[in-house]
Amino acid sequence: MNEVAQRQLFVYWKTSRAAAAAAAAAAAAMQAELRQAHPGVVAALYRRSEGGRDEVTLMEVYNHAGGVDTSLQQAIESAAAQQLAAYLRGARHTEVFTAL
């Protein structure tokens, strides 16, 4: 199987603790729209508390049977720029992993 077919995205970013519920709801809605627009997309959302700090880290995970190609990755980034910008504390960090 080729490398593109095995690509998965892991995108993490920080938001304030006060905005965490709204940010998670916005991210979940965005992922639902991406699944609708791109059949076969599998998306998950995770949250990590930062202890006593006033922020949390959210992580979006994306997979597709055909892999997350450049076009799909751009669609994810475009959707996030429109729907999540108000919640970000700093930049979104994207990591690309390839399944073994």
pLDDT tens, 23-80?
Answer: 999 999 999 999 999 999 999 999 997 777 899 999 999 999 889 999 999 999 999 9
Query: Which residue type, as a one-letter code, is found at position 1?
Result: M
How far, in Å, CA of 52 to CA of 78, rounded? Answer: 32
Q: Which domains does the chain have, with CATH numbers?
A: 4-98 (3.30.70.100)
Q: Beta strands of 1-100 (E only): which ranges?
A: 7-16, 41-49, 55-64, 93-98
Calculate the CA 47 to chain-centre distance: 11
**What is the model's pLDDT at position 1?**
52
